[in-house]
Structure 1
Amino acid sequence: MVALSDRKIEIVRTLVESAPDKIVGGLQRALADTNGDTVLASVRQIVETETRDRLLRNAVFQPVAPLCVGDGSDKNSLVFPARALSCIWSGLKAQVPAEVAAAAKVSAEAATAVATGRRAPDPNAAFDSLVRLTADALRSGDQRDFRAAAEICDRARPGGAETLAACLDIAPVVRRAIARLPEWVAHASGDTNAGARLAYKDSVAIADDAGPRFFEMLAAQLTPPWMVLRIISAVMDKPTERYLADSEVGGFPERVMNAIDEELKAIAGMDLDAGPEAGRAAGRLVDLITQQVFELEVCIELTRESGWGRRILEQKQSLASVVEARLRDADKLSTAALPLQSSSRFSRPRKTGPKLDTPPDSKAVGRTMTLLHFAHEIRRGANHGGFSAAHAKAMEKIGGMIDHYVDEVLDHIRTGDVEDLKIAHAYLRAAADFNGLVRDNKAAELLRRRAATACEADSPQPLKPKAG
């Protein structure tokens, strides 16, 4: 097969170099099996070269790389345009190619040592040297790529270039802290708290206003980012809400509480017609809020009467309220999806048996499934969220309704009061699906077997041909 021309190779290289990391990674996986003298083999070589280059870049700029996302215009957190990272890396390679090559060499040696079980050399000194060069070059703007990076950052936010340079100033401190993040987040103790405090002091020794940047850079390394509250709490020895609110890092808890408000709105506005995934997504938000509230309560000394403590208490009450409302909706809709007939022979209308003259209402069944997926998703965190009793009561009520409905339908099938078995079976299948979410898969499968057995037993048997 004819190889790509040099001009087309350069076009592909330019496209690959400008693509986001996620796209480049996807291309690498897609081209992994390409070999030989094919057109794709040359593309694969370009992608692999770019992948190695980006791995080195991200290692050098590990403390700031996660902050370089999108267009850098997010006002709720410290971010920079992704293009700025590409520009400063290009600038480094153009301005100090020997130092970049040396960093690549020590990085490769470290990777080889780890793979072979030998003691690995520490590449951090080489990386930190490049970071310091970058901060200086970004401020001076003498080189074209660094000047472009500064302009991009300043367009995204006022003083963006200087803020990025200030982040690079404390990058060596943050790099050492990143290695200890799992320990700091997982095990709060005197030793781990002391390590976090020392790293914080090292950063503010470089710049008095470095504290917020230090925590922003650590938060970008964590999943989820709000786990940085544990480190803030360790550094400040579990501060009171008033002290933390008046400090330069008071925005971190505020950000979490604002996110909770948005998550509560999303749960309340769940689209019941969007299907089971919408229900599960809303259920995951419930668990997320529960975790966020827990972190706020554990990391900060709160007062229930006012301030953050009062706001968090109201959020917990709102969460319980919106969850209970959704559980009531699940009860109403499940009853509508498995309808009973009403008789007017009595002074008050009474439900006399399953309504099996029309097929199930697909909209009612779909909405019920959405809400039951929601209820199923929140079952583990119901106790911590403060709605365990409401959840248990709703599931017990819906489960009892399903049992009664199924018994009634099966009884009608046995007595021959069902005109269309297909309709009856459709209702039983819907009830089984509901049962699987209210109880478990075994309960759902048992109901499906009972339905299949009843419907098969009541189906007319085909006549057998006479012998001879």
Structure 2
Amino acid sequence: MVALSDRKIEIVRTLVESAPDKIVGGLQRALAETSGDTVLTSVRLLVEAEARDRMLRNGVFLPVTPLFVGDGSDKNSLVFPARALACIWRGLKVLAPEEIAAAGDAADAVVKAISIDRRPPDTSEIFDGLVELTAHALRTSDLRDFRAAVELCDRARPGGAEALAACLDISPVVRRAVARLPDWVTHTNDDTSAAARLAYKDSVAVAEDAGPRFFEMLAGHLTPPWMVLRVISAVMDKPTERYLADSELGGFPERVMSNIDETLKAIGHLDADGGPKAGRAAAGLVTLVTEQIFELEVSIELNRETGWGQRILGQKQSLAAVVEARLRDAEKLATAALPMQSSGFSRMRKTWPKLDTPPDPKVIGRATTLLTFAHELRHCANHGGFSATHAKVGEQLGGMIDHYVEEVLDHVRTGDAPDLALAHSYLKVAANFDGLVRDEKAAELIRRRAAAVCLAEPPADDDA
């Protein structure tokens, strides 16, 4: 099979160069096994070259790379258009080809040192030099690619290009800080706090207003980004809410609290018809809110009577209220999915399973959604403030399921169940519910008992 023509290769090159990093990485993995004189070989070599080039680019611009997101128009955080990164890299290749080549050699030396288990050389001086050139070019260069980057950034937000250049100005400080960031957020002590404070001072020594940019850039390297609250707390020695609110960094906790408000709305809109996936997603949002509230509480000295403390307390109460309402809905729907009927008018009315109609798939689906939601909350119930309700609903549901299963099995054994297949289907529903209320071992026990009673072979006829 012949290789692609030069014209087609150029088309592929254009497509690959404009693709996001994730797509390029996926193509590289997909084409890794192609070999020989095939059409895909030329494409593979092209993709591998692009992947190596992007690794170098992302290494040079490591401090700011996470800030290039989408079209850069997010008003809630400091971001820039993703296309601007590609533009400044192309412009830098034209402006400083020798320095780019030296950076590539340094990156290759790092890869080689790691492969033979040796200490890699320090590339920061070469990389920081390129970043400095880029910041200057954004402000002064008439090269087409730099002008394109400026236009993209300024179109996304007023003064966007200067904001990017200002981020590049403190990139050497952030590059050193990123290397120590894992320790700063996981091992907070006097040493890590002192190191974080020193890095912060270095950034504001470059520019007095660099503080917020410094933390925005660090947040881009954290998952989740609001973990930067720990670094802010360390730098400011766990500030009071009033002091932090009046500072230039007050926007960080405000942003987290606004995100909590939006997430609470999403939890309240959980669609019971959405199935287990929707239940798990909503539970994930509950976990997210509990983690965010926890970070706010441990990072800031709050006053529950006023300001942020009062707002956060209200958010905790709202979270508990919406979760508890859903837990009660789960109990009602599970009970409705395993219907019972009764007779008589005395206070001691007899109840037994209603086994004359098939299970209602809609009710079962809704109950499964909410029981999945409840099941996924078991690890965050204590922190979320709804552990008592979660435990109570779980206990009541467990008791209800146990009673229902015993009643159905008893009706089958005594011959009172009109349809064994229907009885078995209800027992399977009860088993699935019990797996969510308790665990899969409890569910499997019900399934085995149901099979033994409902699917047992009738005794052989001796006269046959």
The interval holding the TM-score normalised by the smaller chain is over 0.9
Paired AA for residue 165 in structure 1: A
Letter in 1 for 2:295: E
Quote the residue 1:213 is aligned against.
213
Counterpart CA distance in 1 for 2:274 and 2:68 is 33
Residue identity matched to 2:413:
R
Q: Which residue of 2 aligns with 1:94?
A: 94
- Counterpart in the other structure of 1:156: 156
Distance 2:384 2:243 in 1: 27
Structure 2 CA distance for aligned equivalents of residues 299 and 413 of structure 1: 59
Deviations 1:278-304 (A, max 9, x none): 111111111111111111011101000
Partner secondary structure for residue 180 of structure 1: helix
Aligned pairs for 1:73-222 (under 5 A) are 73-222=73-222
Instruction: Find the aligned partners of 1:205 and 1:415 in 2 and give their Cα distance.
Output: 85
CA contact (8 A) 1:141 1:150 kept: no
- The residue that corresponds to 2:387 in the other structure is 388
Deviates more, 1:52-61 or 1:282-291: 282-291
Q: Residues of 1 paired with 2:23 and 2:85: CA distance?
A: 16
Q: How does 1:190-339 map to 2 (within 5 A)?
A: 190-339=190-339
Deviates more, 1:8-17 or 1:287-296: 287-296
Q: Is the 1:81–1:152 contact (alpha carbons within 8 Å) kept by the matching residues of 2? A: yes
Q: Which runs of 4+ in 1 moved over 6 A?
A: 462-465
Q: Which amino acid aligns with 1:400?
A: G
1:320-367 CA distance string (max 9 Å, x none):
111111110011000010011243x31689562111111111111111
Q: C-alpha distance in 2, partners of 1:321/1:351?
A: 35
Counterpart amino acid of residue 56 in structure 2: L
**TM-aligned CA deviation for residue 154 of structure 1:** 0.4
2:355 is equivalent to residue 356 of structure 1: yes
2:402 alignment partner AA: D
Distance 1:169 1:227 in 2: 24
Specify the SS of the correspondent of 1:447. Answer: helix
Q: Over residues 392-422 of structure 1, what are the superposed CA-to-partner deviations in whole Å (9 max), with x where a residue is unaligned?
A: 1000000000000001100110111112111
The amino acid across from 1:251 in the alignment is G
Structure 2 SS opposite 1:99: helix
Distance 1:168 1:456, change over 3 A: same
- 1:406 aligns with 405
* Identical residues among aligned pairs (%): 73
In the alignment, structure 1 segments of 5+ residues that lack a partner are: none
- Aligned partner of residue 353 in structure 1, secondary structure: strand
What is the count of residue pairs matched by the alignment?
464
Aligned partners of 2:234 and 2:241: how far apart in 1?
14
| CA apart distance, 1:214 | 0.2
**How far 1:463 sits from its partner (Å)?**
6.5
Letter of the aligned partner of 1:179 in structure 2?
A
Alpha-carbon distance change, 300 to 454 in structure 1, aligned in 2, over 3 angstroms: same
- Deviation string 1:176-223 (CA, Å, 9 cap, x unpaired) is 000000111111111111110111011111111100000000000000
Amino acid corresponding to residue 268 of structure 2 in structure 1 = A
Q: Is the 8 A contact 1:290 1:381 kept in 2?
A: yes
Q: CA deviation at 1:119?
A: 2.5
Distance 1:8 1:332 in 2: 62
Aligned residue number for residue 451 of structure 1: 450
Q: Are 2:414 and 1:415 equivalent residues in the alignment?
A: yes
> 1:230 aligns to what SS in structure 2?
helix
Residue of structure 2 in register with 1:13 after alignment? 13
AA aligned opposite 2:448? R
SS of the aligned residue for 2:455 comes to: helix
Counterpart of 1:352 in 2: which secondary structure?
A: strand
Deviations, residues 227-276 of structure 1 (Å, cap 9, x unaligned)? 00000011111111011011111000001101111111111110111110
How far apart are the structure 2 equivalents of 1:110 and 1:23?
25
User: Match of 1:120, SS?
Assistant: coil
Q: CA contact under 8 A between 1:359 and 1:423: conserved in structure 2? A: yes
Which secondary structure does the structure 2 equivalent of 1:341 belong to? strand
SS of match in other structure, 2:239 = coil
**Given the two structures, how large is their TM-score scaled by the length of structure 2?**
0.98
Name the amino acid aligned to 2:388: A
What amino acid is aligned across from residue 171 of structure 1 in structure 2?
Answer: S
Letter in 2 for 1:29: R
For normalisation by structure 1, the TM-score amounts to 0.97
Superposition RMSD in Å = 1.4
How far apart, in 2, do the equivalents of 1:173 and 1:274 lie?
47
Residue identity in the other structure for 1:385: G
**Aligned AA for 1:306?**
T
How far, CA to CA, are the matches of 2:335 and 2:97 in structure 1? 71
The answer (yes or no) to whether the contact 1:71–1:81 under 8 Å persists in 2 is yes
Distance across 2 between alignment mates of 1:408 and 1:296: 50
Greater Cα offset, 282-291 or 157-166: 282-291
Q: 1:20 deviation in Å?
A: 0.5
Return the offset for 1:456: 2.0
Distance change (3 Å), C-alpha of 1:49 and 1:358: same
Q: Which residue of 2 aligns with 1:4?
A: 4
The answer on whether the counterparts of 1:263 and 1:289 sit within 8 Å (CA) in structure 2 is yes
Q: Which ranges in structure 2 are unaligned for 5 or more consecutive residues? A: none
Residue in 1 that maps onto 2:367: 368
Alignment partners' CA distance in 1, 2:462 and 2:346: 52
**Take 2:192 and 2:463, find their aligned partners in 1: how far apart are those partners?**
84
Give the Å deviation of 1:385.
Answer: 1.5
Question: What is the rounded CA distance, in whole Å, between the counterparts of 1:307 and 1:285 in structure 2?
Answer: 24
**Match status 1:37 vs 2:37:** yes
Partner of 1:429 in structure 2? Answer: 428
